[in-house]
Amino acid sequence: MKASRFYQALLLASVSLQSFAAAAGIYEFSCGTPADAYGRAIPTPTGNIGFTAVPGGMCGGDAEFTWDYAGTLLDGNDRCSFMANIVQSGRLAEECVDGICGSYSFGFHGLHFAFKRAGSTYFLNSLYGGDSAEAISAVLRNSVDWMFSTSSLDGLEIDASLIASDDGSHRWIVQSNGASPVAPLYLGLPGQPGHKLRMQGEGAAFLWRIDPDGTKQLAKYHYALDIDFVDERGVVAQGYGGGYVGPALVADGEAIPVEEINAKTRISEYEIAQPRLKVLSWQITISADGEPADGFEAIYSLQGNEGMLWNDLGPVKESKSTPAASTTAIDSSASKALSGSSARGVSRLAIPMVTKTATDTKSLYHGNWIPIQFSQGPYEGASMVFNVYWDKYVPRPSDQTTDSYSWSKAGWGSLYTGILPDNVTSAYSLTELMVPGLPVIAEEDPRESGWVNPFEVRFIDFVEEKYRPAYPWVTKIEITVRAHSRLRTALASYANLKSGRWDQPTDFADTDLILSVISLYPDIENTMFASEVAQYYESAAVVLIDNIEVGYAWIEHMGQPN
């Protein structure tokens, strides 16, 4: 689900929000909702985290912190797929003074943006331009950053500046941009609904043109982006048990499926999210590096005032800490190497790391992350996310479903209902496990004892072979939320309340709800740095009920065998 972290283990486990407080001092790392002398930070019963100091907010300490924005941007009737990854790794220093937390370090950023022109798909990827040493070196020079992030109850800022770029000092900035208070409780503070943000960035990238016959062409481009959005729902815990994702917290039982090399690294994270970032305005300009190649235009300009993003964020921690002396030495050597502003120096430092990663793993996890944001229909304003793990590598199977225990033994689904006008208690968070007992995986199929999975995820269609995918990525998924399950009942309760006829319900949760999730770009593929490092699938999608479009969605598919 955090595609930028291809080198991390993804392992589902259970821990309560109280465990966050136990992991580090509440005051030092601002876990949960901090006290505020002016009474603005009010703990609420609605399931969202009232204030998240970034990066200090969820007990990150000096751990890596990531922000992954994914969703759909509308340019008139055209729908574009957008994903931005910002990673703050190996933080050199973090200080929190009087509720204001700041951190200085290095990291990297990436942009994946797809749009259509004249029947062809154009895919802008700042992290991949082919497997040549020259292309890999260019990608690294244009993605490795000096980073500074700071936050307080009043606002946050993430600032990433390239250390050594091909064409000047380019920057990415995400920062608070005002508030639209949500009555009667929320003031639009960071982590609350109503908090406005602005993302600006510029840099160099590779533009891939994918024609209907599967032919691909490549050209160098520059880009500049500017996106304004507002947080409609606030920060929530994503994943069951308070949002923890990491090594199993149990002494016995089989671990959640994860790639072998990743299991050895023992990486964990606190997974939280902003599930509804409503786009207010956006513009992306893509300009050719020199004369445009045949079949490419000099400038592509896209803009609009509609769309929806989902942001995964949170700190990543190693469960076995590196000795302090070693950490200091690593930080010192990295700082000296990167501060020289030499593109060749950056390449010498980073390429061996990428090469080593290539020998380790191509896959973060084997499964799917499927967020859904309802924008119309009875569930308008609500959001859901499903995460499922697969046990088999079978190209284009006709029977891949989580209802088969041989196919899948682990997964979860979460619901974040919307905030209805003047009714903050309409919003709540709910997570339901696919099978009982997780994170311990039962040896026997629980359905043999009468268990019925509360939801099913089934593969329907796959990327066509003419696009030569690294793996047969799924492009159409059918999700069945079963009648009388907790997820289905909660959705019905929200729909009845939203209709204004809560005393005369129209949805009794007595029928299955079938969601069809269909990719908008079945011809793209994400590659990070090099094809031997990491390849996976990410695309904006639509969600339908009874063949009627009801909202935004996203399909992430990882699972390329190592």
Q: pLDDT tens-digit profile of 100-122?
A: 666 777 888 999 999 999 999 99
**What are the angstrom distances between the C-alpha of 488 and each of 116, 424, 447, 515?**
36, 21, 20, 12
Mean pLDDT of all residues in 14-39: 37
**Count of CB atoms situated within 10 Å of the CB of 474:** 26
More confident residue, 392 or 35: 392
Least confident of 275-279, 322-326, 371-375, 429-433: 322-326
Q: 111 with 204, same domain?
A: yes
What pLDDT is recorded for position 245?
52
- In the predicted model, what is the mean pLDDT of residues 359-384? 86
Compute the average pLDDT of residues 265-293: 85
Are residues 285 and 433 both part of a single domain?
no
Q: How do 78-97 and 100-117 pair as beta strands?
A: antiparallel
What is the three-class DSSP state of 302?
A: strand
279 and 396: one domain?
no
pLDDT at 259: 41
Question: Is the pLDDT confidence value at 465 over 50?
Answer: yes
Q: pTM, whole model, 2 decimals?
A: 0.86
Query: Distances from the Cα of 209 to the Cαs of 215, 223, 492, in angstroms?
Result: 8, 16, 44
Q: Are 105 and 71 in contact (CB under 8 A)?
A: no
Here the tokens at position 60 are: 């990150």
Q: Which domain holds residue 298?
A: 64-91+104-151+160-235+275-312
Bigger pLDDT: 84 vs 41: 84
Which H or E element spans position 28? helix 26-29
Q: What's the pLDDT at 374?
A: 98
Instruction: Report residue 458: phi and psi, to 5°.
Output: -130, 135
Backbone phi, psi, residue 521, to 5°:
-135, 80
Q: How confident is the model at residue 450 (pLDDT cuts 50, 70, 90)?
A: very high
Higher per-residue pLDDT: 166 or 197: 197
For strand 216-231 and strand 235-237, is the pairing parallel, antiparallel, or unpaired?
unpaired
Please say if the pLDDT value at position 361 is more than 60: no
Note whether residue 74 is domain-resident: yes
Average pLDDT of the segment spanning 305-319: 79
**Taking a C-beta distance cutoff of 8 angstroms, is the pair 438, 453 a contact?**
no
Mean pLDDT of 181-192: 84
pLDDT at position 283: 98
Q: Cβ(341)–Cβ(163) under 8 Å?
A: yes
What mean pLDDT do residues 479-495 have? Answer: 97
User: Which pLDDT does position 148 carry in this prediction?
Assistant: 84
Q: Write down how long the chain is.
A: 562
- Ranked by mean pLDDT, which of 246-255, 392-401, 535-544 comes out on top? 535-544
> What gap in Å lies between CA 235 and CA 385, rounded to an integer?
14
Q: Please report whether residue 224 resides in a domain.
A: yes
Residues 142 and 282 in one domain: yes
Asked whether residue 530 falls in the same domain as residue 393, the answer is: yes
Which range, 93-102, 150-159, 267-276, 369-378, is most confident?
A: 369-378
**Average pLDDT value for residue range 285-310:** 96
Residues 308 and 394 placed together within one structural domain of the fold: no
Q: How many domains does the chain have?
A: 2
Lowest mean pLDDT among 365-374, 393-402, 424-433: 424-433
Q: What is the pLDDT of residues 118-127, one digit of tens each?
A: 999 999 999 9
Q: Is the pLDDT confidence value at 1 over 60?
A: no
Is residue 14 assigned to a domain? no
Separation of CA 190 from chain center: 18
Which comes out higher in pLDDT, residue 18 or 311?
311
Q: How far apart are CA 562 and CA 554, in angstroms?
A: 24
Give 190's contacts (C-beta < 8 A, 6+ positions apart): 51, 52, 53, 54, 151, 152, 153, 154, 155, 156, 176
Query: Is 87 part of a structural domain of the chain?
Result: yes
**With 60 as the cut, is the pLDDT of residue 325 above it?**
no
In a domain, 522, yes or no: yes
| 387 & 512 share domain | yes
Percent helix, percent strand, percent coil in the chain, to nearest 5: 15, 45, 40
| Tokens 């079945």 found at | 522
Residue 94 — very low, low, confident or very high, per pLDDT cuts 50/70/90? low
Kindly indicate the confidence band of residue 2, based on its pLDDT and cuts at 50, 70 and 90. Answer: low
User: Do residue 303 and residue 373 come from a single domain?
Assistant: no
For the stretch 281-296, pLDDT in tens is 999 999 999 999 999 9
The confidence band for 166, taking pLDDT boundaries of 50, 70 and 90, is: low
Give the model confidence (pLDDT) of 502-558 as tens digits: 788 889 999 999 999 999 999 999 998 888 888 999 999 999 999 999 999 999 998
How many other β-carbons are positioned within 10 Å of the β-carbon of residue 502? 11
H-run or E-run covering 343 = helix 343-360
Q: Comparing 192 with 466, which gets the higher pLDDT?
A: 466
Q: Cα–Cα distance between 470 and 480 in angstroms, integer?
A: 28
User: What is the pLDDT at residue 96?
Assistant: 65
Cβ atoms of residues 490 and 417 within 8 Å: yes
Which residue from 349, 289, 286 is spatially nearest to 108, judged by alpha carbons?
A: 349
Residue 412 backbone dihedrals phi, psi, to 5 degrees: -155, 160
Of the segments 22-36, 114-128, 262-276, 323-337, which one has the largest average pLDDT value? 114-128
For all residues of the chain together, what is the average pLDDT?
Answer: 79
- Is residue 354 a part of any domain in this protein? no
Residue % of the chain over a pLDDT of 90: 49
Residue 35 located in a structural domain: no
Q: Closest by alpha carbon to 91, among 42, 148, 140, 44?
A: 148
Q: Based on the domain organization, do 446 and 304 belong to the same domain? A: no
Q: What is the CATH number of the domain that holds 404?
A: 2.40.370.10
Residue 346 has pLDDT above 60, yes or no: no
Q: Clarify whether residues 295 and 402 are in a common domain.
A: no
Examine the pLDDT at 357 and tell me if it is beyond 60: no
How much is the pLDDT for 186?
83
Q: With respect to residue 266, please indicate whether it lies within any of the assigned structural domains.
A: no
The predicted-structure confidence for 200-227, as pLDDT tens digits, reads as follows 999 999 999 999 999 999 999 999 999 9
Paired strand residues for 87? 66, 108
Tokens of 269: 């994270």
296 and 433: one domain?
A: no
Give the pLDDT of residue 284: 98
Q: Is the domain of 374 the same as that of 307?
A: no
pLDDT band at 424 (very low <50, low <70, confident <90, very high): confident
Both structure tokens of 218? 């490549």
Q: Distance between CA atoms of 306 and 79, rounded to whole angstroms?
A: 10
Dihedral angle sign, alpha carbons of residues 201, 203, 206, 211: positive
